[in-house]
Amino acid sequence: MSDRYCVFGHPIGHSRSPAIHAAFAAQCGEAIDYTAIEAPLDDFAGAWRDFVAAGGRGANVTVPFKEEAHRLCATLSRRARRAGAVNTLVLGKNGDTYGDTTDGVGLVRDLQRHGVMLRGARVLVLGAGGAVRGVLEPLLAEGPASLRVANRTAAKAEALADDFADLGPIRGGGFEAVAGPFDLVINGTSASLGGALPPLPDDLFAAGATAYDMMYGAELTVFLRWARERGARPLDGLGMLVEQAAEAFFQWRGKRPDTAPVLAELRRSL
């Protein structure tokens, strides 16, 4: 009998996680049953309990339930405690729920796969929401020369930077205060979903810089098109999606899949 896993979200019909984990399982010779579950907005904890009662062993968690997943865990990874959110649930042998966030690890691994040097780099991260909070610790662990968080509401970016100031050279402020050049600019805002662009100066990118959007699609996002026109190398977040899934799979099954063929097939299917 296959062990059961799932991804929780609302909505969740668009999720590519079932296809990703099916590919990982086939590659690693693991028998798992992975499905997508649309949890009710007012009872995520109940949906997790029901899943466990039906034999569930672990889950991925996406919007809007990452903070609720954090609250229901008996134990948390250090990075999940820092992020205040959980995207990976693991049912322990004692029945307790362990929570982790693998988004930041996924981002860093994807950047490394593309040869982006983080140590000593000047990094700008756009946005100050949950997506950004979840990646700051892994980014700072790589030893950038500086990390700037910029947000439409400056106070929110400043508060977020204060929360992580003990981990490295991080500062926060408003979009209007951003002054380049930067070696890496990461868009963690949701602006790309609406085809919008944060208000940014044209001289944002250093020579040889990389622009990374956590969103992805068949075509470049408006942010990545704008960045490419200004000389930056554009990368989207599809690799981050696959890499964070691989980290969750490793935590569940103790095997680390080869992400390259899974990512290539996913890219072809967009």
Spell 229-238 as b/e; 16+ CB within 10 A means b: eeebbbbbbb
Structure token pair of residue 25: 């399982």
According to the annotation, is 214 in a ligand binding site? yes
Say whether the peptide bond before residue 18 is cis (omega within 30 degrees of 0): no
* Residue 146 assigned to a binding site: no
Residue 93 labeled ligand binder: no
Catalytically annotated residues? 66
Give the count of alpha carbons within 13 A of 196, CB side only.
8
Task: Please check if 106 is assigned to a binding site.
Answer: no
Q: Is 191 annotated as a binding residue?
A: no
95 annotated ligand-binding residue: no
Integer CA distances (angstroms), 28 to 37, 50, 88, in order: 24, 28, 19
155 is in an annotated binding site: yes
H or E element in which residue 55 lies = none
The reply to whether 154 sits in an annotated binding site is: yes
5 is in an annotated binding site: no
CA dist 9 → 12, 105, 113, 213, 263 (Å): 5, 21, 28, 21, 22
Give the annotated binding-site residues for NADP(+).
127-131, 151-156, 214, 237
Give the annotated binding-site residues for shikimate.
15-17, 62, 87, 103, 216, 244
Give the annotated binding-site residues.
15-17, 62, 87, 103, 127-131, 151-156, 214, 216, 237, 244
